[in-house]
Amino acid sequence: MTQTAHFQPAGPLQGSVPAPPDKSISHRAALVAAMHDEPVLVHNYLDAADTNSTAAALRTLGAVVEMRPDGLLVRGTGLRGLDGVGETIDVGNSGTLMRLLPGWLASQPTGSWTLDGDASIRRRPVDRIARPLSMMGARLEATDGHFPPFVVHAGRLRGIEYVQPQASGQVKSCVLLAGLQAEGDTRIVEPARSRDHTERMLLRAGVRIWRDGPAVNVCAADELGLDAIEVPGDLSSAAFLIAAGLIVPGSHVVLEEVGVNWTRTGFLRVAERMGAAIEGDLEQPPLGDEIPLLEPVSDIDVSAGPLSGTTVESYEVPLTIDELPLVALLGCFAEGETVVRGADELRVKESDRIQAVVDGLRGLGGEIEATEDGFAVTGTGGLRGGVLDSQGDHRLAMLGAVAGLASEEGVRVIGIDVAAVSYPQFREHLGTLA
């Protein structure tokens, strides 16, 4: 049932809250754990709708998955132990599950599976994974040629070189997972760097995986070798509270144990460029081609202050992708113009996030225009407030709530319940700081 909540203008936010577990890394951890022959414990697994879909999908595939106080225990099937007989896997609202899982399924010796999800998932094209997987020899049948539900048939895959037309952490991960059982090496050339959690995790699992310049290469593996995986805090979720700390006057907040892998911290760099006071021990990009083994974490300390507009260029977009709605929000509170370019990918997220952000912020008094591949905001120093419909998109719902705290009249968010897709404790944490 759709829930509505009103977020009143708040006094200065103060205090410290833990960042919720990382959604991207939780999905990968559960999938990679299930590819092991031995049980793997995933510490700090995200207990939210999206990652629960991944746990449920693994159960459908025959893994034994148990949520315990110390994490998610996965007794998997091994790399090539699946043998689907036409089961339907419900990915819920999760685009990451829909894109990553087919890489593993397509590379099984036998079987076929149907992947389906909610109304938002049924609007999201699967072409971007169908293309490289078909080049590897896999067979996918999508509804109307493009959309879920779609069937993945198992088969013998061959390694390919795939030049990505668009940077995407999900598509790269799908191809890397398929490459684990392909004949010959698999190589993906990225037009811009995207999140590298899959590379780091596979490297820790003993897979031969390496980078040369813009390309990631992976060799087939016989088995994987982890007994535990640690999930850091999610910067993309923490970013909502970070943004709140930056725009509610007088605020000073700390987000604890946030993952600061440099391929995720674009938002912090953009915000700093806008003048934001942010302190944290952020990972720096490696100088050479080395793939870092670990996922670094740091507390992030933010204080409110004046902001000025900036331009986010295409190469920064994959490093900031899920936080671009927040860049728009900061832009409303900044002086001057804030422009985002090269972000057409936002049109195929949980909603058309360019249109949804523009409609949402305009409804609150923001001066924002959509462009084909992004948006342009004219900062007016604040927002009046009003009503924002989340359109079933978790990041829109949280955007509205944060806007409400910093607005003049407050914001009524229609469909606030969808925040539980990625951040079930969002309102509780916001309450702690307010």
User: Which residues would be at the binding site for ligand S3P (CB under 6 A)?
Assistant: 24, 96, 168-171, 173, 194-195, 318, 321-322, 345
Cis, peptide link before residue 149, omega less than 30° from 0: yes
**CB within 8 Å of 246: residues ≥ 6 apart:** 271, 276, 302, 303, 304, 305, 307, 330, 333
By C-beta, is 101 or 411 nearer to ligand S3P?
Answer: 101
What gap in Å lies between CA 352 and CA 170, rounded to an integer?
Answer: 18
Helices 266-273 and 235-247, packing angle to 10 deg: 20
Rounded distance between C-alpha atoms, residue 24 and residue 234, angstroms: 8
> What is the separation, in whole angstroms, between the first and last Cα of the chain?
27
What are the phi and psi torsion angles at 176 (to 5°)? -65, -40
Supply the minimum distance, in Å, between the C-beta of residue 130 and ligand S3P.
14
Q: Which is nearer to ligand S3P, 196 or 417 (CB)?
A: 196
The tokens of 295 are what? 């996922």
Please state whether beta strands 277-279 and 112-116 pair in parallel, antiparallel, or not at all (unpaired).
unpaired
Smallest gap from residue 246 Cβ to ligand S3P (A): 22
Nearer to ligand S3P, 394 or 434 (CB): 394
> Which of 234, 322, 393, 417 is flagged as catalytic?
322
Nearer to ligand S3P, 24 or 44 (CB): 24
Nearest approach in angstroms of CB 96 to ligand S3P is 4
Q: In terms of CB distance, is 140 or 171 closer to ligand S3P?
A: 171
CB burial of 93-108 (b: ≥16 within 10 Å; e: otherwise) equals bbbbbbbbbbbbbbbb
Q: Specify whether the backbone of 75 is left (phi greater than 0), alpha (psi in -120 to 50) or beta.
A: beta
39: helix, strand or coil? coil
Closest CA to 397 of 8, 2, 51: 2
**Which of 105, 171 has the CB closer to ligand S3P?**
171
User: In whole angstroms, what separates CA 310 from the centre of its chain?
Assistant: 23
Active site residue 352: no
Strand partners, 374: 371
Question: Least distance in Å: CB of 78 to ligand S3P?
Answer: 24
Which residues are catalytic, by number?
322
